[in-house]
A and B are shown apart, each in its own frame.
Chain A
Amino acid sequence: MKIVIDMQGVQTDSRHRGIGRYCMSVTRAFAGLSHGVHDTTVLFNAALDGVDEAIDALADGREHVRRRTVGPLRNTSFDDHANDARREAAERIFTHALDVERPDVVWLGSVIEGLNDDALVPHELPQAFTVATLYDLIPLHDPRQLGQARPRDWYMHRIEVLKRCDLLLAISEWVRSDAIERLGVAPERIVAIGAGVDARFAPSPPGDSHTTLLQERFGITRPFIMYNGGFDARKNALALVEAYASLPDALRAKHTLVLVGRVDALAAERIAETMAATRLRANDVVFTGYVTDAELVRLYQACSLFVFPSTREGFGLPPLEAMACGAPTIVNDATSLPEVVGSPDAMFDATQPSAMSARMEAVLTDAELAVRLRRQGLERASQFSWQAVAARACAAIESAVVGVGRKVRESTIRSLPRLPHYRVNATNVAETLPRLRRWPGSVAWSGPLPDAGPALAADRYRLGGYARLRGATSAADWLTLLEEEDTGLARNHALAQQCVVEQAIAASVAPVLSDDDLARVADALTRAAPGKHVRWLVDVTHIAANDLGTGVHRVVRSILREWLAHPPEGVRIEPVAYREGRFHHAHDYACRLIGIDPPGDLPDDIVAITGNEVYVGLDWAMESLPSSAPLLRTWRRAGVPVHFIVYDLLPITMPWAFHAQSQERFTEWMTTIADVGDALHCISRTTAGEVATWLGEHTTGRQPVITSFELGAEAGKERRSGSLDSRLEHAMCARPSLLMVGTVEPRKGHEQVLDAMELLWESGADIGLIIVGHRGWLVKELAERLQMHAEKGKRLFWLDDADDETLETVYKRATALLAASHGEGYGLPLIEAAQRGKPVIARSLSVFREVAGDYPSYFHTDTPEGLATFLARWIVDRPLAGSHPVWRSWKESAASLQDAIKANSGPGSPTG
C-alpha cells in the first residue's frame, strides 16, 4: 500500500511534549516494520519547525521513508479571525498534497493542532482511506478547559475531523471506550494500539551512583518520592503534596518530595499555599524545573517511589517510563492508568482521602512490597514497545483497508473541474500549446500528424532538456508536448486535481487574499505534486559567472559536459546559479558548454522545487554557499537530497600555505556542507579519509555519507602543440629539463626545488627547470627570487600565462615532470605527464601513490640537499617507470560520480 503520514505532530509545540514523542516513535517503528511491504511517505508542513530534527530522528529508517513538504503557508492559526481566508486556502492545498500521489492510506499523526500555530488539517477528508491517531478527549470531560469561544470552535472542528476519519488509532483502551461513548464512533472504526517506551528508559547499571548529580544539580540529599508531569488541575499534584504531608513525621523526614516538570506561576502559587496549609517546610519539596531526558532517566532510576495521581490520562507515559527505569510505581486507579501499571498493588483510589498516603506509606515501609512493585513494573514495561504499537497500527490499517478496498470517498468526490476542451490538429497545434499551458484542459487530436516536429527551442527543451536542443524532432513529439499539459478526462489526474483546487480557491477566498498571499498559495499548490521529470540541479554559480580555468573548474566543465550530453537514465540535468536569494536556471552557461547558441525562449527562470530533484554542488561554491545554504536547507526538508563534491581539505590540513581569511572561509564552507549535505563525494580516497577525520573531530550529531570517485583524464586525445620562445626552445633542447606544472603557491614546493636546483647548478650539474603556472598567494619573495634569478632565461624559466598549446610543447620537450607539492586533492598533472610518456618525479604523498601507483620515482626528503642528491642520481640513472592504475576517461568519471549520487539519494528519491 502507498501510505502518507502527516508529521505535523512532531513539528508544532507538541514536539516538546508526549504527543511529539509518540508521533515520532510510532512513525519510526512503522517505517521499519513496513519496509518492503508498504511504500511510506512522510509529509511535513514547511511553515512549521522541527523538520531537521525529525529527519535526523528518522535517519535510522532513511532507506525506508520518502519525505515531502507542503507550503510554506504561514499565518493560518485558528486563534485569529484574520487568518481564516489563508487557512482555508492552506487546508485545501494540504488536502491536495495528501491526495495527489493517490495513496491508499493517509495517516494524520496529530489532528488537535493549529490553534496558535500554522498546523493544518484537511479541508475535506482525503480520498484515500484516512486514519488518525487519537490521544484523548479529555477537554470534552471538562469543557471549561477550552475557555473562550474561539478555542472551543477550534477544538470542536478538530473533533469533527476525527469523527469523519475511516479509522481511529486510540493510544489506550480507555481512550477507545471514551471515543465510542462521547463521539459515537462505531466500535469497529476505532482500535487501541497502546504506547511504547524508548530503550533509553532502563534501570541504572550496577554500581552507577547518581548521588553527585542529585545533590549538585537538584539539591536532593535524601531518598525521594518523585512526580513527573504537568501541574494543571487534572494532574492532581496538590493531592500528592497533601498526601506527602500526611505521611508519618519520621517517614516524611527521611524522604523529600521531588516535583519534576514545568510549574507555571499559578500552579506554583497553589502548591505554595498547600505546603503552607499542611505545614511543610520549603526544603521538604524540590522543584527541578526543566530536566533533560538523560536527567529524567537518572531521577527515575534513583527515586524510592514514583507517584502518579492524575485523574484523567489518555495513556500515562511517565509511570511507564518510571517502571521501565525500575522505580516502584503507584498510580491513581482511574481512566487509562490501570492499563499501564497492570497490578492492583500499584494502584490507589485518589477520590478516597488518605488512600494515596496509605499506599505511599506501605511502599516506603515495606521493602518486600517495594521490591515486588519494582519487579512487576519492569516486567510490565517490557510489554510496551514501539514496535508492538506499530505492529498493531499496521494490522489495524491493513485489515480495515482490505475490508473496504481502495475507496474513492463518495462524500468527497471532487466534481469534475470546469476545464476547457481543446480540439487539436496538425494545423493548430503550435498555436494551441501556449494556450493549453496557461489554461490546462483535455485534448482531443484529430487528423494526421504534422509533417515536422516542434521547432522552438523551448519546446525541444521541454521534451528532454538540453540533450534535445540539438538533433531532429519528430511529429510524434507534438503528442508528447500535449500530454505534458493535458489534464485528460480523469478526475484523479494531478493537473486536473490542481485545477479543481484552484477553482475552489478562486471562487472562495482568492478575492480577499493579498497578492503576496495568493502568490504563496499558487506556489505551494503548484509544488504540492512531485514534478514529472527527475531533475539533478547542478550548482554552477561561480563557473557560470567566471571560469577561472582552475583544476576545480576543469573538473566541473568535464563532468557537466558529459552529463549534459549523456544524462543519467530518466534524469534531466539542470545547471543552476544562485543570485538575488534564489537559484535560477543557467541556460546560457549550459548551452555554451555543449557548444550551441543559447536560444532566448527557454522557460522557467527561477528554480521551483517539487521534491523530485537532487542538488549537486559540483562547483566549489565558497562565496555563494553562506547565502544559499538557508535555501538549500528548505530544499533538503522538501525531500531534495543534497550532494557536494569535496576537492581537498588543504586550507585545513596545511594552514601555513593559505591566508588566514581563506582558512576561515574554507572551515565555514566545510561546516556548512557537513550540516546541509546528505553526501560528500571526494575526488580521492585520501581526501575522503581526511574529510571523515575532520567530521569526526568537528561535528556532532548527523554526519553526511562520504564517498570517493576518480577524476578523468583523456588518453590518446589529439593535442595541439604550439611554438616556444626561442631561448626556451634552445634551453630545453640543450640539456635535461624538469617541468613543474601548477599555480605558484607555498604548498607546491617550488622553494625547495629552487634551492635544490641552485645546489645542483653550483655543483656543475647542467639541468633546466621550467615552471608553468600562474602566480598564486603568499609567494612574494619566491616570485621576486624567480624574476631576479641569475639563471632566469638560461636554465630557469617561469611561464606564468602559458596557454594549452605551449604547455603541450613544454611537456613534449621536458625530460620529466617534477611534482614536489606538499599536499594535493588529486594529481592530474601526474596522469597527464604519464599519458604523454614522460617520467614523473614526485614527493611521496599518499594521494600521489593512489593516483599514479608505482609510475613516479618518489622522493621522501624535505631538504634542498636531499632533493638535489635525489635529482642528480635520477638524472644519471633514469629509472624505468613502474606500473600505474588504469586511469578513467571523463565519461567514466562522470558515470562513477553519478552512481555515487544515485546510491546515496535514498529509495524513492529522485535518482532516476
Chain B
Amino acid sequence: MNALFRRGLRNLLHFLGRHPALKRAIVDLVYRFPALDGKLRTAAHRAIHPEAALDVDASRLPDASRRAYDRMRGDPRK
C-alpha cells in the first residue's frame, strides 16, 4: 500500500512538473490551509525519503543496543 501510495504521489509530482500553471494553482490553494499544507509537505517528504521505515525494531538490534534494552526491561542476571 505504501509503495503504491509513494508511486502514485511520485507520478503526480512528475505530472505537475510538466504543468506548472496547474501546479501553481494547487500550491496556492493548498497554501490557504496551513494544517493540510503541513501534512502534505510531510507526506511528500516521506514519499521521497522512506528512511522512517529504517527505524530499528526489537528483533534486530546491534549488540550494544540489545544490552541496553535488556537492562531497561529488567536485570538480565535474574
Chain B 11-42: CB-based contact to A (< 8 A → 1; otherwise 0): 00000000000000001100111100110011
Cα distance, A533 to B31, chains bound together (Å) = 48
User: What is the CA–CA distance of A49 and B68 in the complex, to the nearest angstrom?
Assistant: 27
A605 in contact (CB, < 8 A): yes
Contacting residues, chain B, for A16 (C-beta < 8 A): 41
Chain B: number of interface residues, binned into ranges: 35 or more
Q: Are B31 and A608 in contact (CB under 8 A)?
A: no
Q: Please name all residues of chain A whose beta carbon is closer than 8 Å to the beta carbon of B51 when the two chains form the complex.
A: 630-631, 633-634
A521 touches B63 (CB 8 A): no
Once A439-B76, A631-B51, A634-B51 are accepted as A-B contacts, the answer to whether A526 and B58 lie under 8 Å apart by CB is no
In the complex, the chain A residue whose C-beta lies closest to that of B67 is A438
Residue in B57, B72, B77 with the greatest tally of chain A CB atoms within 10 Å? B72
The verdict on A178 contacting chain B, using a C-beta distance below 8 Å, is: no
Chain B interface: which of A374-382, A498-506, A867-875?
A498-506
Q: Mark A299-325, 1 if CB is under 8 A from B, else 0.
A: 000000000000000000000000000
A769 to B4: give the CA distance in the assembly, Å.
56
Establish whether residues A607 and B58, one from each chain, have CB atoms under 8 Å apart when the complex forms.
Answer: no
Bound CA–CA A245/B15 (angstroms): 42
Per-position binary interface string of chain A over residues 730-765, scored 1 when its CB falls under 8 Å from any chain B CB and 0 otherwise: 000000000000000000000000000000000000
Q: Which residues of A contact B49 (CB under 8 A)?
A: 49, 630, 633
Q: What's the nearest-Cβ distance from chain A to residue B10, in Å?
A: 14
The prevalent SS among residues of A at the interface is: helix
Question: What CA separation (Å) do A505 and B68 show in the bound complex?
Answer: 11
CA distance A272 to B66 in the complex (A): 60
**Interface assignment of B3: CB less than 8 Å from any CB of chain A:** no
Contact with B along A610-651 (1 / 0, CB 8 A): 000000000000000000001101100000000000000000
Chain B residues with Cβ under 8 A from A802's Cβ?
none
Contact B65 A526 (CB under 8 A): yes
Decide yes or no whether A493 CB sits under 8 A from chain B: no
Number of chain A interface residues as a range: 35 or more
**Interchain CA distance A262-B73 in the complex, whole Å:** 48
Given A49-B42, A439-B71, A506-B71, decide whether A522 and B32 contact each other with a Cβ distance below 8 A. Answer: no
**Is A338 interfacial (CB-CB < 8 Å)?**
no
A110 to B41 Cα, complex, angstroms: 21
Is B52 in contact with chain A by the CB < 8 A criterion?
Answer: yes
Cα–Cα distance between A505 and B61 once the two chains are bound (Å): 18
Q: Once the chains bind, are B27 and A290 in contact (CB under 8 Å)? A: yes
Do A268 and B32 have beta carbons less than 8 Å apart?
yes
Q: Does A74 have its Cβ within 8 Å of any Cβ on chain B?
A: yes
- Give CA–CA (A290, B23) in the complex, Å: 12
- For B67, list chain A residues within 8 Å (CB): 437-438
Q: Is A581 an interface residue (CB 8 A)?
A: yes
Q: Looking at the assembled complex, report how far the CB atom of A860 sits from the nearest CB atom of chain B, in whole angstroms.
A: 45
- Asked whether A523 and B62 contact (CB < 8 A) given A630-B50, A630-B51, the answer is yes
In Å, the complex CA distance between A167 and B41 comes to: 34
Contacts of B53 in A (CB 8 A): 630
Contact call B54/A631, Cβ cutoff below 8 A: yes
- Asked if A123 is at the interface of the complex by the 8 Å CB criterion, the answer is no
Q: Is the CB of A520 within 8 A of B72?
A: no
Nearest Cβ on chain B to A262's Cβ, whole angstroms: 5
Q: Is the CB of A525 within 8 A of B68?
A: yes
A502 touches B55 (CB 8 A): no
State which residues 511-558 of A face B: CB under 8 Å: 515-516, 518-523, 525-527
> What's the nearest-Cβ distance from chain B to residue A523, in Å?
4
Q: Is the CB of B58 within 8 A of A518?
A: yes
* Cβ contacts under 8 Å, B5 to chain A: none
A268 to chain B, nearest CB (A): 7
Which residue among A16, A265, A290, A581 has the maximum number of chain B CB atoms within 10 Å of its CB?
A: A290
Query: Which one of B27, B56, B62, B74 contacts A520 once the chains associate, using CB atoms below 8 Å?
Result: B56
Residue ID in chain B nearest A517 by CB atoms: B58
Q: Is the CB of B32 within 8 A of A523?
A: no
Complex interface: chain A residues within 8 A of B42 (CB): 49
Q: Which of B34, B63, B72, B77 contacts A518 (CB 8 A)?
A: B72
Cα(A72)–Cα(B46), bound, Å: 14
Residues of B within 8 A of A (CB): 27-28, 31-34, 37-38, 41-42, 45, 49-58, 60-77
In the A-B complex, the 8 residue pairs with the smallest Cβ-Cβ separation, listed nearest first, are: A289-B28, A608-B62, A522-B69, A519-B58, A515-B58, A522-B68, A523-B65, A290-B31
18 A-B pairs in the complex with CB atoms less than 8 angstroms apart:
A49-B45, A72-B52, A262-B31, A262-B32, A262-B34, A437-B67, A439-B76, A510-B73, A516-B58, A518-B72, A519-B56, A519-B69, A520-B56, A522-B66, A605-B62, A606-B61, A607-B62, A631-B51
Given contacts A518-B72, A523-B68, 16 further A-B contacts (CB under 8 A): A74-B52, A74-B55, A264-B32, A439-B75, A498-B68, A518-B58, A519-B58, A519-B61, A520-B56, A604-B63, A604-B64, A606-B62, A608-B64, A630-B49, A631-B54, A634-B54
